[in-house]
Amino acid sequence: MVGIGAGYDLSVSTFSPDGRVFQVEYATKAVDSAPTAIAVVFSDGIVFAADSLACGTQDDSPYANVLQAKPAWRVFAIDEQIGAVVAGLLPDAKCVIKRAQEECKSFFKEYGTKPPVRIIAERIALFVHAYTLYWHVRPFGVSILLAGINNNTHELYCIESNGACYKYGGMAIGKGKHIAKTEIEKLNLKEKTCKESLKDICYIISQCRDESSLKTSDIQMAWICTDSNYTYQIIPQDLINLAKNQSTQN
């Protein structure tokens, strides 16, 4: 019996007879098996959150002096007023994030002003899409939620591994995206502030976890809002801990 790819998955530049590009589908599966990441636009700004799995060993392990437990950081600053959260292969994500940072610097150097979020999102989408066109490269196994503030408006874009780019008010990627999207739709995004919604974000992330990751996971969070003076800022750990405690009480 011939396999499902039947040779059509050997190159990203080859379509199967039924119009599928298997390499792009495989990249999407890499994203869908990654820990959940979400970004939501609230009344006064944007919150980024990612379920973070610890890499290495815990302190009580006999190997703790060899390899320390350390979270793989998946929330990034793109510019002063633009941030991103990723799901998928981290090395791929860092490559795309670096490109986004360079695009911001290039835009400022050429035009003397901060770039609109839409422009950066579209440029990164084109960059990601280019890696689905040529046989000698492979698609990026990552999706990115890129958001920021431009002219007093809050914008959020999802850039998928195939190069598609869409604008959202709240979005989730990763293995818990369906659960997270359902929970995000229940929130009153236009009335709630970022600080008020931290407990809701923590609750959503916790609902997307499986039993195997409950003890080895943490939540990484950042925001761009009034509390951060409308610049990208990692949320202080004490606020995250408070939000996590409040989310378990509801």
Question: In sequence order, what are the residues at sequence separation of 6 or more whose Cβ sits closer than 8 angstroms to the Cβ of residue 215?
Answer: none
pLDDT exceeds 50 at position 1 = no
pLDDT tier, 59 (very low <50, low <70, confident <90, very high otherwise): low
Domains identified in the chain and CATH numbers? 22-54+70-249 (3.60.20.10)
pLDDT exceeds 80 at position 250 = no
Secondary element (H or E) of residue 55: strand 45-55
| Alpha helix segments (H runs only) across 14-136 | 22-32, 90-111, 117-130
Residue range 182-237, pLDDT digits in tens: 999 999 999 999 999 999 999 999 999 876 655 556 899 999 999 999 999 999 99
pLDDT tier, 5 (very low <50, low <70, confident <90, very high otherwise): low
What pTM was computed for the model?
A: 0.90
Residue range 122-175, pLDDT digits in tens: 999 999 999 999 989 999 999 999 999 988 899 999 999 999 999 999 999 999
pLDDT tier, 246 (very low <50, low <70, confident <90, very high otherwise): confident
Contact 206, 58 (CB under 8 A): no
Secondary element (H or E) of residue 19: none
pLDDT exceeds 50 at position 94 = yes
Q: By C-alpha distance, which of 55, 39, 36 is closest to 47? A: 39
